[in-house]
Every structure is written in structure tokens, then in C-alpha cells.
Amino acid sequence: MRRFFIVFVLIGALAAPFPASYAQRKSKTTAVAAAASPARKAAEDITAAQLRDYLSFVASDEMEGRDTPSRGLNITAKFIATLLARWGVKPAGDDGTYFQKMALHHARVEAAGTRADINGQSYSYGEDFLAIPHVGAVSGSLVYAGHGWLVKSKNIDAYRGIDVKNKIVVVSNSGLPKGVTLNDLRSGGKRGEDWAEPEAYAQKMGAAGMIEMPDFQTLANWERVRRNQQAGGTLVVTKLEDSRGSSLPSLTLSPKMAAALFQGEKHSASEIFQSMSGSDPVAAFDFGPNKKINFTVAGEPETIWTQNVVGVIEGSDPLLKNEYVAVGAHYDHVGMGPAGSNSRGPARDGNTKDIIYNGADDDGSGTVAVLAIAEAIARSARRPKRSVIFVWHCGEEKNLWGSDYFTRYPTVPINNIVAQFNIDMIGRSKREGDTSAPNRSLTGTNEIYVIGSKLMSTELGEVSERVNKSYLNLSFNYLYDDPNDPNRFFFRSDHFNYAQKGIPIIFYFDGVHEDYHRPGDEVQKIDFEKIQRVTRTILVTMWEVADLKTRPRVDKQLPPELTGG
Ligand SMILES: [Zn+2]
């Protein structure tokens, strides 16, 4: 049936009186091509109206800005799962569900029970010291260990010549040791073994507790940090089974309490402070045998669960269906509350009453685009040859938690994922004549930033270009496709964790705009025609990749600038 129809249409097109308008010709060829390609046919199912319906739910005030973890996020997860079940998309989370559960370890510091004394002289929480909410009571002798880091590749070991077992380690942790870069850590072997940050190293070496000298950042934000610790803010959220973090009870001292701690010791607190701001580091040393500190951090450790949402549409090819094309977005945003915390910016119009960060573009637009792609494929009579896995990541705004978790604990074999398409902000367009500074780098209605498509696989980049040119011919802007892009967009969304696992990625992004991380990022400002165009293009491109005879070859190493974050 399908074939006859094609010939008929072709004749019709040729017979039409000339000249026909470009749009007419374009839509005619698209219609012809759609008939030919199941992907384009399926893409026709994706409409601005459909996208608006879904986004009006996902980015509504009722979702309360979808913070991780939060009620609004959980409701959105249920919304996505309900639709997937309706369309017959296979659950690919835990235990036959659509949810990949993540345990977030959460604790509040209870000021009442949190106390410390040095040789019986007591100090108060919030004024003289702060406490990372790792609950516990500690007492014993002290040892000073400089910056506290281990970086074997740089021959750095803060514990050389000292024994910290069952002692309380005092460190002057002002970030990476001198001469060490993040790249050194990334290329420096296994975290916790070949290199370790002070907390983890102290725990590994059997210390009883840890004391940090305050750096300028902490002193400048003392009050805010204290409030966060007592409110159980997001500062301390770690993944329960994540061995990378530490659970060592530890204090950060005020200058006054630090002075008391180092009184009568080999070096004074002010010498230590000077060494933190660049003068020669002070070598590690044991405190005098009579100097004892006791401290208790009281708090309520709590586990809060959140989730990635994961579904699969199985491929039609008996062999290739064992490989996957991944399509993803993040369905979380920055929640609700005053500007200034949780990476929330102030309202452009100065309205402080609206504290809900709806995240319609960031990343409601990607969330509904992935939904529309899943629906279109699920409803299509034909399926791509490879399987398609859809992942709605949580915690992207919290440092890419969801994609970090999924790529470390994948629910399908990670080596079978042949490419990942990441959609993060595709719903805003710069209007004609808009010369405002905040929208300077925002793309036009028929334009989108494409990042990473050529970075790891020449073939993937070519497919992306070829499909676009022969389909809706969007304007692909490669401005940020530069390893040295000062905005570092390559690091700033979920594709990054897939790329770290050697999976070639394509990241679609509309550019920062006036409502980025502000309450004004709302549904009524979204360009739904743009989301429709970009989403259709992504569906046809990922389908092309899913039907390739062989998976796209990774023929290029990620440039060192782009490894590791
Ligand atoms: Zn985002």
C-alpha cells in the first residue's frame, strides 16, 4: 500500500502548475519524505498544542518549581509515568517501575545538642563553630595535617610522617592544594584511592573526627551556612550508598575558637591562616598531649528518596534492539523560595511576591519534548531498529545528580548506549528587534545551539547535519561547540555524564535569556512552534541513528578541557 501511494504523490507534485511557493514545495517534499520515512511520519504527531498541554501541567505553579527533592518533583514524575503507561512504553526503572530511586542522605544540625569544649572551656554552636551535619560525639587528641589532601599523581600526601588514627585531624582546607588542578584529579586515578579530598582521606585513614580552619568564603557566609545547616539545607545532601562522600563528624571553627585551639602549640592560628592565604605551608605536627577537644554534633539523619524516570521502547531489529539510543532531559528545576539561594535569581520585574520558579523553559521544554518523542514513537506503526531509552533526570540543578547516578547505575548496559540526545532549554526565542542585554545570546525562532555533535563521533555530527538539511533546515548554531567556551555549557547539563562514559552526545540548547533561573520562566513566554520544530528534528535525527547499520564510531577523544568537570 505504502509504495503505490508514493508514486501517485510524485506525479501529483510534478503536474502542479508552476511557480509554487517555497513553503508549498517544502511542505510537499516533506509530505513525500514523510510518507517515505516512518520517522518523519511519526514526527508529524508532535504538535505545539500537544506540547503546550503537557507543559501547562509540568510548569504550573502547583509543581512548585520541581526542586530535588520535593513534592512537585514527585507529582511530575507520576505525571510522566502515567503517560508512558498509557502509551505502552516499557518501564526501565527499578523493579519493573518507571522510577530509578535515589536515596538522598539528609540531616539537620540540632543546635540544642551540638556542643564543643577545649580542655573543658566550652564553645557554642553557630557563634564559635559550625558543624557539617554528620551526627556523632568525638573526643581525643589532635594532629594538624595542612591541606589534608591526597594526590598521588602529584606526590602529595598530607599525612606523610603523621598518624591520624583515632585522632581528630585539623586541616586548613581552602580548596585544591597549590599546583593541583581539577584535571589532575580527573586524570589522577580513582577517587578515594589515588586522590582524596580531606574529609574522605581523614575517614579512610581512621581519624575520629575533623576540624576545619575557616576560609574566607565560609567566614563571609557564616550566617547563611549556619542557617542552612540548621534548616538541613541542600548543602549536605549526599547519596546514601555513595562511598565518595564522608560521614565524619566535623566542625568549622571561628577565628576566636581557632586561636584557642592553637594556643601554646608549635604554630599559632594566625600562622596557619597566613599559610592558607599563600605563604609557605605549615608542616604537619601533633598537638601537645594535654590539648583535648570534645565535641558532639546532634542532628536527625534522614533519608529522602527521589527518582529518575526511565522508559524504553524496544527496537524492531532482532539484533540491533540490544543497543540503545538515549534521549533525555531534566524534569527538575530550582523550586520555590527567596532569590539568592538554590541558584535562584531575582524577578526581572522586581516582583518579590512570585517565589515559584516554574522552569517552563528550564527544563520544562526538554521534559515535554522527550514526552512527545516517546509518544510519537509509541504511536508509530514502525519502530526504530535499535531500542530507545528515555531518561528524565532529577537533580540536574544540584550538580547533575540524576545523570551522574544513571550513568553510574545504568538500568541498561551502558556500553550498549550508542548515542545520547540531551534536550535542555529549547522553548525561548529572541523576538525581532529585541536588543536587550539579557537576551543577547538567545537564539531566534528557527535557530538552536547544537553542542557536542562533532566532538566525539564524526559520523554522528554528519548524521545530525544531513538530517537537518534535508528536513526542517533549522539554523544550527555551533558557537558553544568549543572546548574553550568560557560559559562551559558542555559541562552544565546531563549529556556531560554520558560523554564521560564515552557515549557520543548531542546537546540542544536555546541560550541563556532574561528569565534564566528567575520566576519569569513561565509557560506564557514559551515559543511552542520552536519546541515543535526542534523536537521533530531531534526525533528524526535519533531515529536515523537508531537505524544505522553500525553504531556511530567514536573516532575522537574528548579534548582534555572537556573531561572531568
Ligand atoms: Zn536546565
Q: Are residues 274 and 361 in the same domain?
A: no
Do 388 and 245 belong to one domain?
no
AA letter at 151: V
Q: Are residues 224 and 331 part of one domain?
A: no
Cα–Cα–Cα angle for 536, 404, 331, rounded to 5 degrees: 45
CA of 38 to the centre of ligand 1 (A): 30
Instruction: Quote the pLDDT of residue 322.
Output: 97
* 295-299, 411-415, 481-485: range with lowest mean pLDDT: 481-485
Please state, for a pLDDT cut of 70, what percent of the chain lies above it. 89
Helix (H) or strand (E) run with residue 144 in it: strand 142-144
In degrees rounded to 5, what are phi and psi of residue 423? -115, 110
Question: How far is ligand 1, taken at its centre, from the CA of residue 119, in Å?
Answer: 50
pLDDT level of residue 559 (50, 70, 90 thresholds): confident
> In the predicted model, what is the mean pLDDT of residues 466-476?
98
525 C-alpha to ligand 1 centroid (Å): 16
Q: What is the mean pLDDT of residues 184-206?
A: 85
Asked if residue 392 and residue 482 are part of one domain, the reply reads yes
The Å distance, Cα 361 to ligand 1 centre, comes to 8
Q: Quick check: 375 pLDDT over 90?
A: yes
Ligand 1 mean position, distance from CA 1 (Å): 44
Query: What CATH number is attached to the domain comprising 146?
Result: 3.50.30.30
C-alpha of residue 425 to centroid of ligand 1, in Å: 6
Q: Is residue 289 domain-shared with residue 164, that is, in the same domain?
A: yes
Q: How remote is the CA of residue 358 from the centroid of ligand 1, in Å?
A: 12
| Entry pTM | 0.74
pLDDT at 7 > cutoff 60: no
* Model confidence at 532: pLDDT above 80: yes
Q: How many angstroms separate the alpha carbon of residue 478 from the centre of ligand 1?
A: 19
pLDDT of residue 51 exceeding 80, the answer is: yes
Q: Are 45 and 376 in contact (CB under 8 A)?
A: yes
Q: What are the pLDDT digits (tens) for 101-160?
A: 998 877 778 888 999 999 999 999 988 999 877 889 999 999 999 999 998 888 899 998
505 and 448, same domain (yes or no): yes
- Counting every residue written for the chain, the total comes to 565
Mean pLDDT, the chain, rounded, equals 88
Which of 254, 278, 297 is the last residue before a domain boundary? 297
Q: Distance (Å, rounded) from C-alpha 429 to C-alpha 441?
A: 10
Task: Please give the grid coordinates belonging to residue 386.
Answer: 535499535
pLDDT one-digit tens code per residue, 278-308: 667 788 999 999 999 999 999 877 788 999 9
Q: Which has the minimum average pLDDT: 131-135, 197-201, 506-510?
A: 131-135
Q: Are residues 355 and 461 in the same domain?
A: yes
480/550 same-domain check? yes
- Using pLDDT thresholds of 50, 70 and 90, give the confidence band for residue 565: very low
State in Å: Cα 397 to ligand 1 middle. 7
Structural domain count, the chain: 2
Mark which of 297, 316, 351 sits at the end of a domain: 297
- For the stretch 317-361, pLDDT in tens is 999 999 999 999 999 999 998 887 778 888 887 878 899 999 999
State the SS3 of 368-426. Answer: HHHHHHHHHHHHCCCCCCCEEEEEEECCHHHCCHHHHHHHHCCCCCHHHEEEEEEECCC
Using the mean position of ligand 1's atoms as its centre, give its distance from the Cα of residue 273 in Å. 38
Asked if 113 and 254 sit in the same domain, the reply is yes
As a whole number of angstroms, the distance between CA 438 and CA 428 comes to: 13
Residue 7: CATH number of its domain: 3.40.630.10
Q: Domain end: 237, 272, 297, which one?
A: 297
Looking at the structure, tell me whether residues 363 and 397 fall in a common domain. yes
Question: Separation of 91 CA from ligand 1 center, angstroms?
Answer: 24
Could you tell me the distance, in angstroms and rounded to a whole number, from the CA of residue 454 to the centre of ligand 1?
22
pLDDT of residue 30: 54
547 CA → ligand 1 middle, Å: 29
Distance (angstroms) between ligand 1 centre and the Cα of 37 equals 32
> How far are the Cα atoms of 84, 351, 385 from residue 315, in angstroms, in the given order?
16, 49, 5
User: In this predicted structure, what is the pLDDT of residue 244?
Assistant: 44
Please name the amino acid found at residue 501.
K
Could you tell me if 128 and 236 lie in one domain? Answer: yes
Same-domain check for residues 26 and 126: no
Q: How far is the CA of 328 from the centre of ligand 1 (A)?
A: 12
Q: 245 lies in which domain range? A: 109-297
Distance 40 CA to ligand 1 centre (A): 27
Classified as helix, coil or strand, 261 is helix
Which pLDDT belongs to residue 257?
Answer: 94
pLDDT (0 to 100) of residue 188: 77
Q: Is the pLDDT of residue 12 over 70?
A: no
